[in-house]
Amino acid sequence: MVAPEEISKKIFLEGKDLKKSFFLKGKEIKVFDRVNFSFENGKVIVIQGRSGVGKSTLLSLLGGLDRPTEGSISFEGTPFENCSNEELALLRRRKIGIIFQNFNLLSSWTAAENVEAVLMHSGVSESVRRQKVEALLSELGLADRLDNLPSELSVGQQQRVAIARTLANDPVLILADEPTGDVDPETAKEIIEKLLVLVKNKGTTLIVATHGNFSESWADQIYQMKDGGLEKK
Ligand SMILES: Nc1ncnc2c1ncn2[C@@H]1O[C@H](COP(=O)(O)OP(=O)(O)O)[C@@H](O)[C@H]1O
Ligand SMILES: [Mg+2]
CB 71 within 8 Å of CB 35? yes
Whether the per-residue pLDDT at 50 is higher than 60: the answer is: yes
pLDDT at site 212: 73
Task: List, in order, residues 6 or more apart from 10 with CB less than 8 Å away.
Answer: 77
Whether the per-residue pLDDT at 8 is higher than 80: the answer is: no
Predicted TM-score of the model (pTM): 0.91
Given the CA of residue 29, which atom of ligand 1 is nearest to it? 5
Domain ranges of the chain: 4-104+171-232
Q: What is the mean pLDDT of residues 160-168?
A: 94
φ and ψ at residue 100, rounded to 5 degrees: -80, 155
3-class SS of residue 98: strand
**Closest residue CA from atom 16 of ligand 1:** 54
Kindly report the CATH number that applies to the domain delimited by 4-104+171-232: 3.40.50.300
Specify burial of residue 70 (Cβ count, 10 A radius: 0-12, 13-18, 19+). Answer: exposed
Closest to 191 in 3D by CA, of 220, 162, 150: 162
Q: What is the mean pLDDT of residues 112-140?
A: 93
Strand locations in 41-170 (E): 44-48, 70-75, 78-79, 96-99
Length of the chain: 233
Q: What is the mean pLDDT of residues 7-20?
A: 84
6 pLDDT tier (thresholds 50, 70, 90): low
pLDDT at site 88: 97
Distances (CA, A) of 27 to 60, 97, 212: 22, 33, 31
**Closest residue CA from atom 6 of ligand 1:** 22
**Closest residue CA from atom 4 of ligand 1:** 22
Does 60 sit in the ligand 1 pocket, CB within 6 Å? Answer: no
Q: 160 C-alpha to center of ligand 2: Å? A: 19
Closest to 38 in 3D by CA, of 230, 228, 233: 230
Q: 56 C-alpha to center of ligand 2: Å? A: 4
Does 31 sit in the ligand 1 pocket, CB within 6 Å? Answer: yes
Type and span of the H or E element at 56: helix 55-62
What average pLDDT is seen over the chain? 91
188 pLDDT tier (thresholds 50, 70, 90): confident
